[in-house]
Amino acid sequence: EAEVAQSPRYKITEKSQAVAFWCDPISGHATLYWYRQILGQGPELLVQFQDESVVDDSQLPKDRFSAERLKGVDSTLKIQPAELGDSAMYLCASSLSGGPYEQYFGPGTRLTVT
Amino acid sequence: QKEVEQDPGPLSVPEGAIVSLNCTYSNSAFQYFMWYRQYSRKGPELLMYTYSSGNKEDGRFTAQVDKSSKYISLFIRDSQPSDSATYLCAMISGNTPLVFGKGTRLSVIA
């Protein structure tokens, strides 16, 4: 069964350092999402890609966060500099075009900023 | 008031019980209603989704949507210890992002 891959699974970094997360969506899925999930909360969308184009990044803190999906396949989310409040689970999801309700999530990257 | 409200629990039930999980929402434009299951340290897994009002059944799981009351439910029959997880409701209207509830933590005790 095809799955969304993410790495690393866990990351501990000091504040003010840079950190990057990688996501490989299910093959053929044109839409890719990055979410942030704070402990005890539901996921919140950070950025949505359709192929290589950003569709929605209205909730992405652009002063420190960036995301790219250069060839319309895998994607990288970067935080620079990391802050204590960035500690959370970062989830990647993908879907076929036209079906935002059938989003398939990866296992996530748990980030701890010390 | 958040767009989607969900009691975080925790909810603890004996094996074999019928479980009822609920969410309320304020945005009448929501059209699709989803339920996700999330095991500890894993990503959410889509259980089922419904469009507009009505019921949908899949095995031991039944989803209900009452748009007039802005209330959705997920019922789990014959609950099993393997159902122990956090259950997240999520909703969407048009091309807007998915809006999730906080999740309800469920424990099924053998």
Neighbours of B55 (CB within 10 A): 12
Is the backbone of residue A28 left (phi > 0), alpha (psi -120 to 50) or beta? left
Q: List chain A residues with CB under 8 Å of B42.
A: 107-108
Distance, C-alpha A55 to centroid of its chain: 14
End-to-end CA distance of chain A: 36
Task: Name residues whose C-beta falls within 8 Å of residue A63's C-beta, 6 or more positions apart in sequence.
Answer: none
pLDDT at A98: 58
pLDDT at B51: 87
Nearest CA in chain B to A4: B43
Contact: B98, A45; criterion CB under 8 Å: yes
pLDDT for B74-107, tens place per residue?
999 999 999 999 999 999 987 678 899 999 999 9
pLDDT at B1: 65
Mean pLDDT of B63-68: 94
pLDDT at B2: 77
pLDDT at A8: 97
**Token reading at A85:** 């409040």
How far apart are the C-alpha atoms of B12 and B46, rounded to whole Å?
Answer: 22
Interchain contact A67–B (C-beta under 8 A)? no
pLDDT under 70: residue ranges of chain A: 98-100
